[in-house]
Chains A and B, each alone.
Chain A
Amino acid sequence: MNVTEATVTDAPGNAPERSAAVRDGLGVGLAVGASGLAFGAAGITAGLSVAQTCALSLLTFSGASQFALIGVIGAGGNLATGVMGAVLLGGRNALYGLRLADLLRVRGVRRLLTAQVVIDETTAVASAQPDRAAARVGFYATAISIYLSWNLTTLLGALGAARLGDPETLGLDVLGPAVFLALLWPRLTAGRTEGRVAAGAAVIALATTPVLPAGVPVMVAAVAALVAIVPPRRRRRPGSPGETDGRSGPGERKEGTAP
């Protein structure tokens, strides 16, 4: 790993990868800015002051957790429960940190600052890069552009809450999932395991949504990644249709053998 790192960091041929990573980061920052407007407006609608709405973006800096908290406040729910739900939803950032610690390798004060920007978007951009150098550049480009845009647009959204129309009219509610889909796309199409993990995670999250508190289903879906722990199974009976299905390459499959 260290050898790879040294090679990729110094190699001049990596400039395109690094500028691509910066482009990814800035693009995400711009796009997420739009949802910051929606969050600022939603904070005011839920009954928070402009200062409280902005403080939430500055301190929490994790969109899903922020929306979860103001959702509870807006609905008149118990504040302690709201805080617990919001923090629980941020639990996935701890899991992201496990991966990012290896990619970023930061120490000391820089690590304390870096921690604040470990979120969905920065993780998605960093893990989408082809090598560690590009992952670092992508991570920090995304972090800086999102931190600035998210906090600025939170303020604008909060100030302009009354004038901003329904975010759904502008299709802004699609931006969240579309951002994550676009970031995840290279991984989803990379391998069969990734696809299976993704499908499993989506099913788990949707199946548990009606029965678990908001935010928990996304955490629970992490168990879909446990596929990685299971050692790759060899086909015990090569002729067995159940095992063949979905495992063998198209070349191995003869026409007419499909059930």
Chain B
Amino acid sequence: MNVWIAVIATGVGCYLLKLGGLVTPQRVLADPRVRRFTELVPVALLTALIAVQALAPDGRTLEFDGPRLAGLGAAVAALLLRAPFLVVLAVAAGVAAGLRLLL
């Protein structure tokens, strides 16, 4: 398989999955438990994504990177202080970059 085919196949496959969820009949959501489930799915998936990106960025091995975790800790602190979105990100990246510069 050449790289172009892989690129196109990935694009088409990902698109069909996105469309699949969107066209699923809303009857499925008539049950309040199913609706509650779909409300909680983004919470579960995004938290899992945060955890994996923070602790296993290659997606395979757990890796405790001090500056990265400190950056995320700084983001949590900024969120607790109700800092605006971009400030939270700047603080997170700044702390991680700063620590890497120092260590």
Taking a contact as CB atoms under 8 Å apart, the answer to whether A177 and B56 are in contact is: no
Identify which of A10-18, A149-157, A184-192, A237-245 touches chain B: A184-192
> Chain A binding site: helix, strand, loop or mixed by DSSP?
helix
Most chain B beta-carbon neighbours within 10 Å: one of A176, A200, A209, A229? A209
Q: Which residues from chain A contact B13 at a C-beta distance below 8 Å? A: 83, 86-87, 90
Give a binary string over B29-65; 1 marks a CB under 8 Å from any A CB, 0 the rest: 1000111111111111111111111111111111000
CB B50 to nearest CB in A, in angstroms, measures 5
> Does A164 belong to the interface (CB within 8 Å)?
no
Specify which of B38, B48, B58, B89 is in contact with A98 (CB 8 Å cutoff): B38
B20 pairs with A59, CB closer than 8 A:
no
**Within 8 Å CB of B28, what residues of A?**
98
Q: Which residue, of B5, B21, B38, B47, has the highest number of chain A Cβ atoms within 10 A?
A: B47
Q: A79-B6, A188-B43, A201-B43 are in contact. Are A27 and B85 (CB under 8 A)?
A: yes
Question: Quick check: is A228 within 8 A (CB to CB) of the other chain?
Answer: yes
Bound together, the chains give a CA A98 to CA B20 distance in angstroms of 9
> Is B8 in contact with chain A by the CB < 8 A criterion?
yes
Interface centre among A119, A215, A228 (most CB of B within 10 A): A228
| Contact of A97 with B21 at beta-carbon distance under 8 Å, contacts A185-B79, A209-B59 already known | yes
How large, as a class, is the contact surface on chain A?
35 or more
Provide the bound-state CA to CA distance between A188 and B42, in Å.
Answer: 11
Interface size on B, residues (CB 8 A): 77
A101 and B21 form a contact (CB under 8 A): yes
CB pair B46–A209 under 8 Å, yes or no, is: no
Interface flags for A46-58 (1: CB within 8 Å of B; 0: not) read 0110001001101
Contacts of A90 in B (CB 8 A): 13-14, 17-18
B24 nearest CB across to chain A (Å) = 6
Number of A-B contacts (CB under 8 A): 308
Q: Which residues of A contact B9 (CB under 8 A)?
A: 83, 87
Instruction: Say yes or no: B53 contacts A177, CB within 8 Å.
Output: yes
| Alpha-carbon gap, A83 to B50, bound state (A) | 23
**Across the interface, which residues of B come within 8 angstroms of A98, CB to CB?**
21, 24, 28-29, 38, 41
Contact B22 A205 (CB under 8 A): no
Which residues of chain B are near A61, meaning CB under 8 Å? 11, 14
B35 CB → nearest A CB, Å? 8
CB of B42 within 8 A of CB of A202, answer no
- In the assembled complex, the CB of B44 is this many whole angstroms from the nearest CB of chain A, namely 4
Q: Is the Cβ of B45 less than 8 Å from the Cβ of A174?
A: no
Asked, given contacts A31-B89, A98-B21, whether A92 binds B40 with beta carbons under 8 Å apart, the answer is no
**Cβ-defined partner of B89 (8 Å) among A24, A115, A179, A217:** A179
Asked whether A171 lies within 8 Å of B100 as measured between CB atoms, the reply is yes
17 A-B pairs (CB sep. < 8 Å): A79-B3, A86-B14, A93-B21, A97-B22, A102-B35, A102-B38, A169-B101, A171-B71, A171-B98, A174-B75, A181-B50, A187-B42, A209-B56, A209-B59, A218-B48, A221-B44, A225-B41
